[in-house]
Amino acid sequence: MSVTQGAPAAFAEPVAPVRRSWIGLLFAANLGLWMAFFTPVQILLPEQITALGVTGKEAALGWVTGVGALVAIVVNPLAGALSDRTRLRLGGRAYGRRHVWTLGGTAVSAVSLVLLAQQDTVAGVAAGWAGAQVGLNVMLASLSAAVPDRVPIHQRGLVSGWVGMPQALGLVLGAVLCTALVTGVASGYLAMTVLVVLLAVPFALLTPDDPLPAHHEAPARQRTPPWWAVFRDHPDFMWAWGTRFLVQLGNALGTLYLLYFLTDRVRLADPETGLLIMILLYTLGMVATAVVGGRLSDRLGRRKPFVVWSGAVIAVAALLLAIRPTWGAALAGSVLLGAGYGVYLAVDTALITQVLPAATDRAKDLGVINIATAAPQVLGPALAAPLVTHLGGYPTLYAVTAAVTLLGSVMVVKIRSVA
């Protein structure tokens, strides 16, 4: 990362370790974010569209989630770029460049979720979910920048493990909340609204946020190349993006049709309960390895070997499903997938923060990285459907999942500036 000597606090490379309280508040903010993201996708949107009684509910759900993913691809780097250049002064006091976006994104998310709960057409649901995606991706852009902004390199694996964990916990906790504790789609959206506010706002109000220096505005405005130009000038960043894209594409391919896999291939008597068990095992595997893998990466001062081996573990899990379509193999694959993905997400996130091109553009560049997470959610269904229906079925799907994931993880060796 490019940082000049004696840089202002907003651009300086962090050296002081962050405290547990700071990590806890960031963990909570991310938990609120991912609960509000995953719970609608997995539970509330399917139930809402089913209740509309439209023909082709699967296609309608795909259209709604696809629109949301496209919104994420546009909003995330844009919000990051604006965050990088934000200078706020009120009453003669200068405020930081991140927290105002976290608060704004939280507000947009909350309003959109409330409006989404009231929609009774597919177009209305798509518009409401697009609005929620705007707010959630504004939050994601600002919260993602917290790690390179404030966490020293030797602590980033550990912190990234804690920050990555809510992606799995958000799915499980949201599912439990909206199936066991809260009844009805509208009540589910209201619960997500309350939780995203309660969990995200404390981080924005209680943690420091360095303001931009007064002289920064002019240089920032001189530099307006398209976001993809960063790949040309920073090859390590390009390879990091490619690694994230392929591993996330493998994840999208491997998880999209799990319910149908249990129903049609494994022929499980109760596939819905089976899928819930698989999600719980996946979460346990991820929780067990994310922080441990990140901390070990910090202590050894190495990132790339952890990325390669975690990708190999994920590939083994996918191959297990391809070769042995049984309930026992599905359970073992769930644990392996969670264990591999936990290490991958913690260490790869830390690695990415070390190849960001410039301290002045941290949030924008992380927004570009987040495209590598969002784009596979659009591309995955387009690739998975023909594999399942015309090109060999589930064995082919999971073999391709393994190959794509392994290729993505091995690609990390092309990065030269990080061990």
For the stretch 131-166, pLDDT in tens is 999 999 999 999 999 999 999 999 999 999 999 999
Domain end marker among 218, 240, 259: 218
Domain boundary among 157, 184, 218: 218
- 297 neighbors 284 (Cβ within 8 angstroms): no
Give the whole-angstrom CA distance, residue 321 versus residue 328.
10
What CATH number is associated with residue 83? 1.20.1250.20
Q: Is residue 10 part of a domain?
A: no
408, two tokens: 């993505």
Residue range of the domain that includes 199: 18-218
Do 302 and 381 share a structural domain?
A: yes
In a domain, 9, yes or no: no
Q: Is the pTM of this model over 0.85?
A: yes
A 10 A CB-CB count for 33 gives: 27
Q: What is the DSSP string of 204-255?
A: HHHS--PPPPTT-HHHHHH----TTHHHHH-HHHHHHHHHHHHHHHHHHHHH
Give the list of residues 6+ apart from residue 159 with CB closer than 8 angstroms, or none. Answer: 18, 23, 26, 147, 151, 294, 350
The verdict on 186 and 265 lying in the same domain is: no
Residue 412 per-residue DSSP state: G
Q: Rounded to whole angstroms, how far apart are CA atoms 30 and 198?
A: 12
Whether residue 344 is contained in a domain is answered as yes
Give pLDDT tens digits for 281-306: 999 999 999 999 999 999 999 999 99
Spatial CB neighbours of 384, under 8 Å, sequence gap ≥ 6 = 252, 253, 256, 257, 397
- Pairwise CA distance, residues 172 & 291, whole Å: 18
* 111 and 232 belong to one structural domain: no
The total number of structural domains that make up the chain: 2
The reply to whether 212 and 273 lie within a common domain is: no
Domain boundary pick from 218, 246, 273: 218
Classify residue 153 by burial, with Cβ atoms within 10 Å: 0-12, 13-18, 19+.
middle
Residue 13: inside a domain:
no
Residue at 2 is within a domain: no
Residue 356 within a domain: yes
Domain-embedded: residue 75:
yes
pLDDT of amino acid 5: 46
Query: What parts of the chain have a pLDDT lower than 50?
Result: 2-5, 218-222
pLDDT of 226: 64
Q: What is the pLDDT of residue 201?
A: 97
Beta strands at 93-95 and 88-90: parallel, antiparallel or unpaired:
antiparallel
